[in-house]
Amino acid sequence: MAQIKSVLLWENQRRYIREAIDEGTLKGAIIPTGSTEQHNEHLAMYHDTQSAVYVSKLAAEKLYPNVVVTTPLAIGVSEHWMDHKGTLTLRPEVFGEVLYDVADSMRRHGIKNILIVNGHAGNSGPVMQRLDGYKEKLGINIEYHSYWEAYSGELVKEQMESGVCPGHAAEFETAFALAAFPDNVDWNGVDYDTAKLTISDEGQAKSDREYHHQAKLATTEKGQVMIDVAVEWVAEKIRQMIA
């Protein structure tokens, strides 16, 4: 039986993908979507993308060799964070077209079950506005979910002292990073009160400060609990699609 070498598409040579699709062992694909944007003073800008890839990879490994994870969309719709230098953003229509083309690429190769796993809230509106159109044009089984849809209110209350999830670079995302990629959390030299921040929206300025303080509640243990739940939930979603 032909099998992919890795659940990450880009780590395979072409023969592994070709043979796994031709023999019918590769049945589904996950497209991770995220962003490259500000994540407060302490968290790496790649967090949304990296978290979506992390969950997608572990979920695909649970279904090996039936699911592959495509190259992520690492720049999302982030206009609302452009007050913060370094943030990259795509116009919603551009993001939507690129996502469509990635899905269409997999469809053209014979993959008929595609789950988009999102890690950035700003992508959701643009995708949901287009999802029915994707389904109609592609003619395949395609779904979209942010991985934090896995969390019940009870779980958030139990694990997050702040009660906030997902938030933005607050307790949840910081805990996730501590468990999955701790080098992305850097408190060295952080002094929020003296930082030269220019946040034009008063509400965002207030939440930015609140999230900064909530982030200090994060622990590796909390992050691991949330990761495990998300991975199982995503794996079950793509499993049901394939079935």
Sign of CA dihedral 57, 59, 64, 66: negative
62 pLDDT exceeds 90? yes
Mean pLDDT of 94-111: 98
Spans of all domains in the chain: 9-242
Q: What is the CA radius of gyration of the chain?
A: 18
- Going by C-alpha positions, the residue among 52, 42, 38, 33 that lies closest to residue 174 is 42
Question: What is the model's pLDDT at position 1?
Answer: 86
Question: Does the domain formed by 9-242 have CATH 3.40.50.720?
Answer: no
Question: What is the model's pLDDT at position 64?
Answer: 98
**235, burial (CB in 10 Å: exposed 0-12, middle 13-18, buried 19+):** buried
Mean pLDDT of 31-35: 99
Average pLDDT, the chain: 98
Question: What is the model's pLDDT at position 57?
Answer: 99
**Is-contact 74 35, C-beta < 8 A?**
yes
pLDDT digits (tens, 9 = 90+) for 209-235: 999 999 999 999 999 999 999 999 999
Token digits of residue 202:
């008063």
Instruction: Say how far apart CA 227 and CA 133 lie, in whole Å.
Output: 31
Dihedral angle over CA of 36, 34, 130, 17, nearest 10? 120
Question: What is the model's pLDDT at position 227?
Answer: 99
Instruction: Say how far apart CA 191 and CA 232 lie, in whole Å.
Output: 37
Instruction: Say how far apart CA 119 and CA 33 lie, in whole Å.
Output: 6
pTM score: 0.97
pLDDT digits (tens, 9 = 90+) for 133-148: 999 999 999 999 999 9
- Going by C-alpha positions, the residue among 34, 33, 32, 6 that lies closest to residue 20 is 6
Phi, psi (degrees; rounded to nearest 5) at 56: -65, -45
Question: What is the model's pLDDT at position 132?
Answer: 98
Phi, psi (degrees; rounded to nearest 5) at 130: -110, -10
pLDDT digits (tens, 9 = 90+) for 145-203: 999 999 999 999 999 999 999 999 999 999 999 999 999 999 999 999 999 999 999 99
Q: pLDDT confidence of 59, banded at 50, 70, 90?
A: very high
